[in-house]
A and B are shown apart, each in its own frame.
Chain A
Amino acid sequence: MAIGPYSLLDRQIVVETNSERFATSLERVLTDLRSEERPGNPTTFLVRRKQGPTADSSRWEVWRDGVACETMLRDHYVADYVLWELTRLLLESCEPLLPIHAAAVSSRGQGVILAGGTHAGKSTLSAWLTVNGWGFLTDEVALVGSDGKHGHLVHPFWRPIGVRPGSPIEAFLEVPQTADSLLVPASRLGALSHEVPLRAIVLVSYSPTAEPLITREPRPAAIRKLAEHLPTLRAGGSKTFRRLVELAREIPAYSMTVNDLRSAGTQLDDLVKSNLGGNNAC
């Protein structure tokens, strides 16, 4: 059976599988990426469950347009893997947009990118903000483009949010967690945001002991730190570097230490309000 189509920018994706259970589960997880357009020439993922000699020895194979991607996956990891493939597909085809490994949210029509390393709390913070009235753009890849009228824009990538066991976001979910992580469509937590003008980049770090603090980041340091979150920097070379420099020249960057989601949300609210007043200083 086939599920989809799903939309990644201009690309259409269809997933075919021989497992009804997996199809139902994946459809629920990818609901925010669903497209109503008829796929012209979609990228097709085939996710096939193969039964082994014993009842508990089944394995999975994932194929992309007829090319084998992965095999021998555990049941609970298959959806994560497909999601990883979709993210990879997005990175391959997002030109001329600049992808940043970051979450992004919007408030009052203004986009804020939340960049940070693994376990910095990007997903949790973006989920928390979505629950509390912000618009969700992404928890994984922020796509930055520009037009003459609005300057830099941040585009959505509505992949489901990965919620880990023990996350404060669990309280907002009606389904208890059973696996290492749960993929939650952001629309279950709040509103999805379409593309918006980008107003601030916040470099997020998690510290359970530090005081929550948001400070303006000098532009040279912002370039160096943001470079760590550009998955296409090396492949894109100097062209991508120049785009990064242009971004840092025009969009103010901040560093924020997070140890409490409520405080972080308040500080980001204040940041957006100060930007609305035309004051980029923090």
Chain B
Amino acid sequence: MPVDADRPRRAAGIESALIDDQAVLFVESSGVVHELSPAATLVWSMLDGQSSPEEIAEEIARELTASTVDLAPQVRQVISHFRSVGLVLTP
């Protein structure tokens, strides 16, 4: 399936556990464990390959009842970090 850079999708082979509102991810190929912050966990939970960073930001803003705040730059930053450590597919 082609990767849409504007609709980020999780990489395969990642086991996740949610504990105390934080996701902990295990990358099977490398054996590395990542601990996500609560905010990054929200972003991670919405990476479905269907939503753009802007849509994810709007969804998070609604959940946080902060709909007037533009969270898109932060969401893009988090996704960029995910991409840099191989958690998100790169086009």
Contacts and interface: CB of A to CB of B under 8 A. Distances in A.
Interface of A: 218-221, 223-224, 227, 233-234, 237-238, 241-242, 245, 248-249
B1 interface: no
A242 B31 contact: no
Interface residues of A, dominant DSSP: helix
A245 B17 contact: yes
A242 B18 CA distance: 11
Interface of B: 15, 17, 19-20, 22-24, 26, 28, 30-36
Tell me the interface secondary structure of chain B in the complex: strand
Contacts of A241: 15, 17, 26, 33
A196 to B, nearest CB: 26
B15 A223 contact: no
B19 A238 contact: no
Q: Which 10 A-B pairs have the closest CB atoms?
A: A234-B31, A227-B33, A241-B26, A220-B22, A224-B35, A238-B15, A245-B17, A220-B35, A223-B24, A224-B33
A248 B19 contact: yes
B35 A223 contact: yes
Contacts of A248: 19
A145 B39 CA distance: 34
Contacts of B35: 220-221, 223-224
Contacts of B31: 233-234
A249 B31 CA distance: 20
Contacts of A242: 15, 17
Nearest to A245: B17
Contact of B19 (A227, A233, A237, A249): A249
A248 B19 CA distance: 9
Contacts of B36: 220
A245 B19 contact: yes
